[in-house]
A and B are shown apart, each in its own frame.
Chain A
Amino acid sequence: MSSNPSQGIPLRTIHEFPGGVHPGENKEQSTRTPIATPPLPNTFILPLNQHSGAPAELLVKVGDYVLKGQMLARANGFVSSPVHAPTSGTVTSVGMHPVPHWSGLEETCLVLEADGKDQWCELDPVADYKTVEKDELVQCIHDAGIVGLGGAGFPAAVKMSSRKASKIHTLIVNGAECEPYITADDMLMRERADRLLGGIEILQHMLNPQEVLIGIEDNKPEAIEAMRKVCAGKDAIEVVPVPTKYPSGDAQRLIWLLTGKEVPSDARSVDIGMLCYNVGTLVAIYDAITEGKPLISRVTTLTGAALHQPGNVEALIGTPAEHLLEFAGIQDEQFDALVMGGPMMGHTLDTTAVPVIKTSNCFIAASREEFPPPPPEQACIRCGMCADACPLSLLPQQLYWHAKSQNHEQLHHHNLFDCIECGACSYVCPSSIPLVQYFRAGKDEIRFQKAKSEKAERSRQRFEQRQKRLEAVAAEKEARRKANAEKARRAKEAKAAAGQSAGQNSADTSAADAKADMIKAAMERAKAKKATRAAGTDVATASSGKPARPQLSPKQKELKIQLSVVNAQIKKCERAASQAGENSSPEAEKLQADIDKLKQQQTQLKAEFEAASAPTEAPAKPAKAELSADEKKHKIELAMARAAVKKAERAVTTAKESDSDQLQTLQQQLEDKRRELARCEEAV
């Protein structure tokens, strides 16, 4: 506060964080040449989800002609980011395509065929951002599709627009770039320091921090020099070299290094008054505000032993990786693994057909010697080297045991969810145990279990509520039944009492008694009235309902029941058939035959029913009586046979489901039963 940085170079204390490792840097290969611009590819693949948050919503359709910089998909909500056209051309398709994601799964992408003109759409830069409201600038940054270019891909506008962001005191600029191999930020700082400073000044205007600290690992002297040069004379901005140690580029590690402040486990850096932006993000913000250009390209490092000319390129988002690898002179005979990101936290890609996305800071085309397959895992000897390497002071050796035995309570107790998966523990493990992999699996397992138990809890609650509802309905029914019974009893009593009290009244002369009796009588009269009213309605409904219903002969009744049974069977068979049809099961045909048969039966029964109800009952009865001797027997047999067939069918299906070895015998039995049924049907 009182110290004036311009009086001399202030000596800032660097707060060493615990742990960390020093893997081979391998940065010199890609820093020999300036940032290059590869030729325009013919095809661009643009995933709709290149950021953390919701995927963007498509604004164009197949066949549309678009201009460079035109918004192709808009942000879906605030924690989302739009996607812009990296060049002018035609949208040729929208569909699933491999993307650089560690799951290896495909995602919805928009494919853009370049027309080669590379024609910009009309840009709308902010003339003088100092005269513009903060909210408007935030919107500009949001609309430009700017996300954290350091790797996480968190929409840049979201961080700065929270209410807490207006109270930040320190802006941290992350130029540490601690991952080996990657030099994108290094080259960017060397070549675009002035634009980076411009970005910082925009954020200074928007957020008004007391100081800006630019953290750069001391293995990048050129970048430090370049930044110091442009920041000379800027009082509130300080370039702070930090010791080279992985993972100092992690935002919270860098905050610790520069300020000694810790971000609580359940909070974000903004909660302690700090915001951290990657240098690439700030340059993108500068371009978006002062030139109106959306984020359609980024600096990407192309390196690895399989590349003839490693270096950095200004890659248009959506450029297929293979195009860039060609540009950098890929040597197929050496090429063994493609890693996006660094060797510590990057992930391998299954194909070179994936595009450059906003978070693609590096592609490593590695040879077998460079990234050899990991040696077989040995037993953990609890040497504790992992604990010494952990930048969060976790105990990976303990977490490993608990992850292996899926002891979730212990994993929580050992703060598994604080693990940032930096890979330092795996790196130092003398037994070559892929610790990070165990931790990722452990985290996933816990998340999965949690989701499962939440689902089970919801189902339980639903079940209980349903049970309660059913109980309430049952209780209501019971209460009504009881009330009705009580009413009926009361009515009966009242009737008897009315007769009695009439006699008593005349006999008894006591006035009090008489009064009480009168009240009682009145009450009972009222009750009786109510009861009769209730009874009356019952009678009324009964009398009004009954005559409307036609009187059915026993024969008609029987036919009607049969008809309804057949109807039900048809419905059931149809359901089964449609299901079988969906599964394209061979049973579908058989079921269809059943349905036809049943429908025939239905029409027959209907006809019979009509016949039975149309003429007088008299001739119908003897007809039935005549038939009954033979037909009754057959019908019973038929019904029994049908039941037997059904039972056998059920047995067969269960056998099929459980892969029982009795399937053959059961099927044989089913065939027998079916034959029997056919015989019975013939007989009928």
Chain B
Amino acid sequence: MALIRQTSPHTLGQNKTSHIMRLVLIALVPALAAQTWFFGWGIIINVIWCSVIALGAEAWILALRKRPLSFYLRDNSALVTAWLLAMALPAAAPWWLSLIGVGFAIIFGKQLYGGMGNNPFNPAMVGYVLLLISFPQEMTSWVAPLGSGISAPGIGDSFSMIFAGSAVDGWTMATPLDILRENKSLTMNELWQNSPQLSGMTGLGWFWTNLAFLAGGLYLLKEKAISWHAPAGMLLALAVLSLLFWNGTGSESHGSPIFHLFSGATMMGAFFIVTDPVSGATSNKGRLLFGLGVGTLTYVIRAWGGYPDGVAFATLLMNMAAPAIDYWTQPRTYGHRKPKRGMAKTK
């Protein structure tokens, strides 16, 4: 009888990439629920729509590349990109905006680099930044949160806003980070009183959404799908910098640490974006540095840059630095006195 010949180890752990991706999707559910609660059904419609686009785009390119479709589609990585981007887009983002963003993210941000595992940049952030630069008007038209005086759109309204192009003006409001950016004259207290969407700690809806992302992130940590290093680095940098430059409640204020930690895309970025293993640094020390970098750049862009939120730009900038970080943060190998640093010396 023919015995099987194969290389050791002969037994494998049960962890699978598709399983990790599924965990990420599960961890996104609380935030999805919070966003839907505060910003209406548009977010759910967008998530479904983006998933369709992502799977379609991925399948198309895989077919062009003559790769087995179901094997690669089942790794769930396209879905993660789609969900992250859908949850970063405004709830009433028109259908074509998602199409361009997700299509670009999957085709250019991921597959053209060689598919999963080979993309130097976070695909979701690539798509997001493309849209932010190209369509700033649409990208900043956030539906007003529940309780801000404007009633949230229902399923029908959301459908017509996304697919029929009906005007969104009546439903939208500036986001807290926008308000802070645009504010030149009011003190913080006045600002908070004048803007209904700022009520509730760090902004109506935004606080709870961030909290939901944090909960999802803690779940991922518990499941060991991510390590604590990158999120800790990002949150630490953001907290320290916002504390350092927190100049009180005057009109020039950049906002309190709590405001920065629980507003915009902070928690989503910390637990779902900078933890992307493919485009981030890979050693634990490297991840900490990577997170610190993203946090620092995010604050710099928020406080002094030209865009209200900076997580996407900060992530892409740090993605570029990830290989260098990896070369300089090798851990010390057993039996060696010092860790190796930098690039290998070529002969």
Contacts and interface: CB of A to CB of B under 8 A. Distances in A.
A262 B7 contact: no
A381 B277 contact: yes
28 contacts: A18-B334, A21-B13, A23-B11, A104-B5, A262-B334, A264-B335, A265-B335, A344-B10, A348-B3, A364-B10, A371-B4, A374-B12, A378-B17, A378-B75, A378-B116, A379-B117, A381-B17, A382-B117, A387-B282, A387-B284, A388-B227, A426-B9, A426-B12, A427-B11, A427-B13, A431-B117, A434-B7, A436-B9
A349 interface: yes
Contacts of B331: 387, 393, 395
B3 A349 contact: yes
A338 interface: yes
A345 B9 contact: yes
Given A343-B10, A350-B5, A374-B12, A394 B333 contact: yes
Interface string B335-347: 1110010011111
A384 B20 contact: no
Mostly, the B contact residues are loop
B189 interface: no
B304 interface: no
B115 interface: yes
A423 B333 contact: no
Given A180-B11, A395-B283, A430-B17, A409 B347 contact: yes
A355 interface: no
Interface string A6-26: 000000000001100101100
A413 B334 contact: no
B326 interface: yes
B6 A337 contact: yes
Contacts of A263: 335
A336 B16 CA distance: 25
Q: Which of B7, B277, B345 has the most CB of A within 10 A?
A: B7
Nearest to A19: B334
Contacts of A352: 3
Given A381-B17, A382-B277, A392-B335, 9 more contacts: A335-B1, A335-B3, A344-B9, A381-B278, A383-B20, A384-B283, A387-B284, A430-B16, A434-B7
A337 B282 CA distance: 36
Nearest to B331: A393
A252 to B, nearest CB: 7
A414 B328 CA distance: 11
A421 B7 CA distance: 11
Contact of A384 (B118, B284, B334): B284
Contacts of A23: 9, 11, 13
A387 B283 contact: yes
A343 B334 contact: no
Q: Which of B6, B11, B280, B345 has the most CB of A within 10 A?
A: B11
Most buried by A among B12, B77, B336, B345: B12
B116 A379 contact: yes
Interface residues of B, number: 47
A344 B11 contact: yes
B334 A392 contact: yes
A338 B334 contact: no
A307 interface: no
Nearest to A346: B8
Interface string A403-447: 000010110111100100101001111111010110010000000
B65 interface: no
A414 B345 CA distance: 12
A297 interface: no
B6 A373 contact: yes
Interface of A: 17-18, 21, 23-24, 104, 180, 252, 256, 262-266, 332, 335-339, 341, 343-352, 364, 366, 368, 371, 373-376, 378-385, 387-388, 391-395, 397-398, 407, 409-410, 412-415, 418, 421, 423, 426-432, 434, 436-437, 440
A620 to B, nearest CB: 72
Given A104-B5, A430-B20, A343 B340 contact: no
Contacts of A346: 8, 10
A180 B11 CA distance: 10
A366 B10 CA distance: 10
Contacts of A375: 12
A418 B335 contact: yes
A431 B11 CA distance: 14
Given A415-B336, A427-B13, A345 B8 contact: yes
A393 B9 contact: no
Contacts of A349: 3
Contacts of B335: 252, 262-266, 392, 418
Contacts of B116: 378-379, 381
Interface string B276-288: 0110101110010
A371 B11 contact: yes
Contacts of A366: 10
Contacts of B118: 379
Nearest to A368: B4
B13 A428 contact: yes
Contacts of B117: 378-382, 431
Given A21-B13, A339-B10, A413-B340, A252 B334 contact: yes
B9 A423 contact: yes
Contacts of A262: 334-335
A432 B12 contact: yes
Contacts of B334: 17-18, 252, 256, 262, 265, 391-393, 418
Given A385-B15, A432-B12, A374 B6 contact: yes
B17 A431 contact: yes
B111 to A, nearest CB: 12
B6 A348 contact: yes
A185 to B, nearest CB: 19
A229 to B, nearest CB: 34
A436 B277 contact: no
Nearest to B342: A413
Contacts of A347: 7-8
A437 B5 CA distance: 13
Contacts of A395: 282-283, 326, 330-331
